[in-house]
């Protein structure tokens, strides 16, 4: 099993569309008011929770364009999809349900015959719903 992360139908693998960097961000709303004895904080809930993925492939050697196609389709249709993180011994964990908010694709050094970049990187912004 060489799948590292799964976002909907897109599988990010060692060979193919390979995840390079993973960043998570979340916030908690905590308004404060000054009192005579110090500050009084009130917990009002969580804000949005996001994850940013950077992926890379060499499409002429490793493939990976099928997974990128799935990511583009999920992004265009604003699908709510499952986000799985795979672990050791075939153990995976459902991190949550996400929508792909941002999708940036960069192609470098275009191939003269296919017109696709020899190095393809993408960055995904996932928001948990």
* Alpha-carbon span 30 to 45, nearest angstrom: 8
Contacts of 87 (CB under 8 A, 6+ apart): 93
pTM of this prediction? Answer: 0.83
Read out DSSP for 92-108? Answer: EEEEEEEEEEEEEEEEE
CB contact at 8 A, 6 and 86: yes
Topology of domain 3-128 in CATH is Elongation Factor Tu (Ef-tu); domain 3 (2.40.30)
Structural domain boundaries of the chain? Answer: 3-128
Tell me the pLDDT of the chain (129 aa) as tens digits: 588 899 999 999 888 899 999 999 999 998 899 999 889 998 888 889 999 999 999 888 888 889 999 999 999 999 999 999 987 777 888 999 999 999 999 988 877 787 778 889 999 999 999
């Amino acid at each position: 099993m060489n799948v590292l992360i799964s976002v909907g139908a897109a599988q990010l693998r060692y060979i193919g569309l390979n995840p390079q960097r993973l960043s998570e961000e979340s916030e908690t709303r905590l308004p404060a008011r000054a009192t005579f004895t110090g500050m009084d904080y009130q917990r009002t809930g969580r804000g949005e929770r996001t994850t940013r993925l950077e992926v890379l492939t060499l499409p002429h050697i490793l493939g990976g364009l099928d997974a990128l196609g799935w990511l583009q389709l999920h992004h265009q249709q604003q699908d709510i999809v499952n986000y799985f993180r795979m672990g050791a011994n075939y153990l995976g964990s459902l991190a949550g349900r996400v929508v792909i908010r941002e999708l940036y694709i960069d192609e470098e050094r275009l191939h003269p015959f296919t017109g696709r970049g020899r190095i393809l990187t993408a960055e995904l912004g996932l928001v948990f719903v």
